Amino acid sequence: MSDSAPAQNPIDVTVPSAARMYDVLLGGNNNFASDRIAVEQLMVTAPNSRELAVNNRAFLRRVVRTIVGEYNIDQIIDHGSGLPTQDNVHQVAQRLNEHCRVVYVDNDPIVLTQGRALLDENDNVAVIEADMAETDRLLSHPRVQELIDFDRPLAALFVSVLHCVDDQKAAAMVRETVGRLAPGSVVVICQLVSDDPDVRDKVTTLMHEQTHGQWGRVRTEDDVDAYFEGLDVQPPGLGDVSLWRPDTEVLPRQRTHEWTEYGGLALVPAVPASSTT
């Protein structure tokens, strides 16, 4: 992408965004010099960031295949969908079920411009601009209401996004979304974690500085476990998602493990899991 944005877009090319930095890590070209410089700085503290991003994207493909192919879900809300890349959620899902409905949600203007051009390719797909933290507003969006039937199970994806928002918003958005889902719905959550406090602090500070506060924090595995409270976590459980039901894809091995994407897949039980014990 050239380093000048179309005049009608409220895009500040001098301020890195999480979406475009992730695009840099995935080898995409929807990013600016500011994003590339920020990624270089990030990789000083977290040199495995490229492999981590590629592995996260592979997890997203595997988990969508599982949701549609094994859990027979045919409607998906992808919170913080990111820039279009190869094998986007609706493409993976519709390969298994051409009727699968997918709503992509993001608040980054470039995601929306590129997404509408590349993702919104059939009637069963919508790309909408919304703050994923505003659950009521998001779920009552006309396109969400048109495509998603909340009386039936659906999948809510929060893949590599909760670290973009603060603790209160992250917890509230998962809780409020889960509260709207029919039993049998699938919730997928993963986010950046580290057991090294130095990595957590340095990356969180860097990302806050770079994105002018448009970020949350690197958390711990325990923090992420808490998001799954009341849900029925499915095998293989919660862990580094690069190891979640791996298949035969040849993926770059992470050279270091200073941080990982940690999480997994859970079902919404008919009775909240905590009250069944």
Ligand X SMILES: C[S@@+](CC[C@H](N)C(=O)[O-])C[C@H]1O[C@@H](n2cnc3c(N)ncnc32)[C@H](O)[C@@H]1O
Contacts to ligand X by CB under 6 A: 18-19, 22, 56-57, 60, 80-82, 105-108, 111, 131-133, 159-161, 164-165
* Closer residue to ligand X, CB minimum distance, 38 or 132: 132
* Closer residue to ligand X, CB minimum distance, 56 or 260: 56
* Closer residue to ligand X, CB minimum distance, 39 or 268: 39
State the amino acid at position 41 in one-letter form. Answer: Q
* Closer residue to ligand X, CB minimum distance, 117 or 274: 117
Cβ of residue 79: shortest distance to ligand X, in angstroms? Answer: 7
Cβ of residue 69: shortest distance to ligand X, in angstroms? Answer: 19
Burial 100-131 (b: 16+ CB within 10 A, else e): bbbbbbbbbbbbbbbbbeebbeeebbbbbebe
Cβ of residue 250: shortest distance to ligand X, in angstroms? Answer: 19
Cβ of residue 219: shortest distance to ligand X, in angstroms? Answer: 14
* Closer residue to ligand X, CB minimum distance, 12 or 270: 12
Closest CA to 87 of 72, 116, 65, 114: 65
Rounded distance, CA 237 to CA 131, Å? 29
Q: What residue ranges in the chain does DSSP mark as E strands?
A: 75-79, 101-106, 125-129, 155-159, 186-193, 232-233, 239-240, 260-267
Cβ of residue 57: shortest distance to ligand X, in angstroms? Answer: 5
Rounded distance, CA 190 to CA 203, Å? 17
